[in-house]
């Protein structure tokens, strides 16, 4: 269902989005604002794990998201915060209640990704993924769900990954954390339904964001295809051709707005009877796993 078909389906709603500085988080903030919601954008806006090849978001990135939300005539409130701190998130929940009157929607989207061979992985490689992706997502739910309960119900959407639906070479920690998010989502759906809260997961494929558009990721795509990366600026184009050939819809990377449309649906009343479900946005890559 397109954004235009949903119209101002979130008119008057207050939405929390983590990982809001760019990518899927920013695209969803814009989609929510277009649909009538005021948006609270949370992002750490700092390096989380130095070994990762991903360039971190910045405070300027988060401010840009805010400008785009305000351009839609909606209120914006930014918070630079680490979701590994439950107490900090709980403090933000109280602040948002005071500023906006309550919380209706939570999109727990923030996460990290770094690749390490299983036999070379140290404790820090493993633990950072669990702490940020899995525990961090649980913290977001635990911190903000009580505010949704006070409103008499609402929506929680979490971001997992196709790599949470199948194994990933050199990505055991990431896959485990994202697979765990699906179990977390289903358990939360079972518990929170009695309060009128639906809980669902969106499953992005390879998205056109810094998380998947960097040299380390290009090299992995090339190696998975049985070829040798050159370690130069040709690797990006080689990876692009490989991804186009293997993806049923023949696209290398999916645009963040294509995921945001699905998140918007799950946040709307059109999805009021949908809970405990996973929604794949993978350009057809879902066909490759059972």
> Which residues form the catalytic set?
174
To which residue do tokens 């949908």 refer? Answer: 274
Q: Please give the order of strands across the beta sheet that includes 38-43.
A: 76-80, 38-43, 14-18, 105-108, 154-159, 197-204, 278-281
Length of the chain: 290
Cβ atoms 48, 3 nearer than 8 A: no
Q: What is the dihedral of CA 171, 177, 180, 182, to 10 degrees?
A: -80
Dihedral sign computed on CA atoms, order 75, 272, 19, 132 = positive
């Amino acid at each position: 269902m397109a954004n235009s078909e949903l119209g101002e389906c979130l008119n008057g709603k207050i939405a929390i989005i983590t990982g809001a500085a760019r990518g899927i988080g920013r695209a969803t903030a814009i989609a929510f604002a277009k649909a009538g919601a005021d948006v609270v954008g949370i992002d750490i806006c700092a390096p989380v794990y130095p070994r990762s090849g991903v360039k971190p978001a910045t405070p300027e990135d988060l401010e840009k998201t805010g400008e785009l939300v305000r351009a839609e005539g909606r209120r914006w409130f930014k918070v630079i915060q680490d979701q590994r701190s439950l107490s900090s998130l709980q403090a933000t929940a109280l602040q948002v209640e005071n500023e906006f009157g309550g919380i209706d929607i939570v999109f727990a989207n923030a996460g990290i990704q770094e690749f390490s061979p299983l036999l070379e992985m140290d404790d820090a490689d493993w633990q950072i993924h669990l702490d940020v992706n899995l525990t961090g997502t649980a913290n977001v739910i635990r911190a903000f769900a009580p505010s949704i309960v006070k409103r008499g119900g609402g929506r929680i959407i979490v971001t997992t990954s196709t790599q949470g639906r199948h194994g990933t070479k050199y990505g055991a920690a990431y896959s485990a954390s994202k697979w765990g998010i699906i179990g977390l989502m289903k358990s939360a759906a079972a518990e929170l339904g009695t309060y009128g809260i639906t809980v669902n997961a969106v499953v992005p494929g390879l998205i056109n964001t810094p998380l998947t558009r960097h040299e380390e990721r290009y090299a992995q795509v090339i190696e998975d295809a049985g070829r040798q990366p050159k370690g130069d600026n040709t690797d990006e184009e080689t990876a692009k051709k490989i991804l186009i050939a293997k993806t049923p819809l023949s696209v290398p990377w999916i645009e963040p707005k294509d995921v945001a449309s699905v998140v918007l649906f799950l946040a709307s009343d059109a999805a009021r009877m949908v809970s405990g479900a996973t929604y794949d946005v993978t350009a057809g890559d879902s066909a490759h796993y059972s």
